[in-house]
Structure 1
Amino acid sequence: MQEMRKHMLACHDQEKIDCFLQQMHVGFLGLSDSDGPYVIPVNFIWHEGKIYFHGAEAGRKAKIMSGGAPACFTVCEEQAIMTDPVPAHTSTAYMSVMLFGRVQPIDDLHERTEVMQQMLNKYVPGYFRRPLASSHVEKYRSKLGSRTVVYCLSPDVLTAKENPLDQKRRFISGQQAGKGRNE
């Protein structure tokens, strides 16, 4: 795997990476087939060093993943734009994590139910009064008749990068160069 070009921005703080992945709501699953690259935004959970997400058992995404193709999963957050008197030094404060590996479907009903419950806890905490029943996970079919498949990406490689926010450089709407901060 090619090394990160801006290695000085690499984040090696596993606690920070874990916290970031637990808090973020959308990740981008990157796949490729004979028709070319295919990137899909998905909801996910980060649990015990793995990415879990779900989807229909039919469609392009499911077809690509059924072949055991390599995958990339990216999560990022823009925190702010940072100004500078030199236009080329205008920058973005951000955090991003990229994971590389292969995606596998989860066959075990208990594990699928646990993952789906954790997704409900993350996205709609406290909304449901009872835990998710495994019978619901097993029997549910979409309006198109497709069952829900739970997938796991166990990363072979994980990289994280951050450009921390410098509050003195934070862009404020309406701000102009030469007037106020960061002249």
Structure 2
Amino acid sequence: MFRPMRRFKQALSPEECRAVLERGTSGVLALTGDGGWPYAVPLSYVYADGKLYFHSAKSGHKVDAIRSCPRASFCVIDQDHIVPEEYTTYFRSVIAFGTVRILEEDGEKRAAIEKLAVKYAPAGSRENRDGAIDREWAPLCMLEMTVEHLSGKEAIELVRQRGK
């Protein structure tokens, strides 16, 4: 179902892929948009228990696309170091493939937004976090992507540096 990586020596292990998702702060969600056109949107996210969580408005292109076709990919760039003298970049990135659903149940939605809030404001108090979530609750939509496949790759120069 998913293509094997052509440059398999540069492939990241499943553990390395998960680590990239855990430390990343933004990525690009790719969906099938209006008229079958690709629609890719940069988003903040949190990765937990094999799932990616995103916040969204309750209406718009992203939500319409998910309702039409829940299959998606999400790309996170972990490193992109430009090396001009070599005419290249030392990169590391991961693509997650899966299906996205809109969280409708309040308990699921609350748990997801709390994970996101803790990731981006880890020193914040519970009281401040609850207040911020409560203020934004009415227009808030939470999305959950169940990851079905992970693919990660890094520059061959990084592979050599790590002695893989």
TM-score (norm 1): 0.74
Aligned length: 156
Q: Does 1:31 align with 2:28?
A: no
4+ aligned runs moved over 4 Å, structure 1: none
User: Contact 1:82 / 1:166 at 8 angstroms: preserved in 2?
Assistant: no
Assess, with a 3 A threshold, how the Cα gap between structure 1 residues 132 and 165 changes in structure 2: closer, same or farther. farther
TM-score (norm 2): 0.82
Mapped to 1, the partners of 2:126 and 2:72 lie a distance apart of 36
Q: Any unmatched runs of 5+ in structure 2?
A: none
1:49 deviation in Å? 0.8
Mapped to 1, the partners of 2:123 and 2:84 lie a distance apart of 41
Q: Does 1:98 align with 2:95?
A: yes
After superposition, residues 1-183 of structure 1 pair within 5 angstroms as 1-14=2-15, 16-33=16-33, 34=35, 36-82=37-83, 90-130=87-127, 131-132=129-130, 136=134, 140-141=137-138, 147-163=139-155, 164=158
SS at match of 1:132: helix
**Identity %, equivalent residues:** 24
SS at match of 2:130: coil
Q: Which amino acid aligns with 2:122?
A: P
Q: Which amino acid aligns with 1:101?
A: G
Q: Any unmatched runs of 5+ in structure 1?
A: 142-146, 168-183
Mapped to 1, the partners of 2:47 and 2:65 lie a distance apart of 22
Bigger share in helix: 2
Structure label with greater radius of gyration: 1
User: Contact 1:93 / 1:165 at 8 angstroms: preserved in 2?
Assistant: no
Aligned-residue RMSD, C-alpha: 2.5
User: Contact 2:82 / 2:88 at 8 angstroms: preserved in 1?
Assistant: yes
Deviations 1:131-164, CA, capped at 9 Å, x for gaps: 527x828x733xxxxx211111112211111222
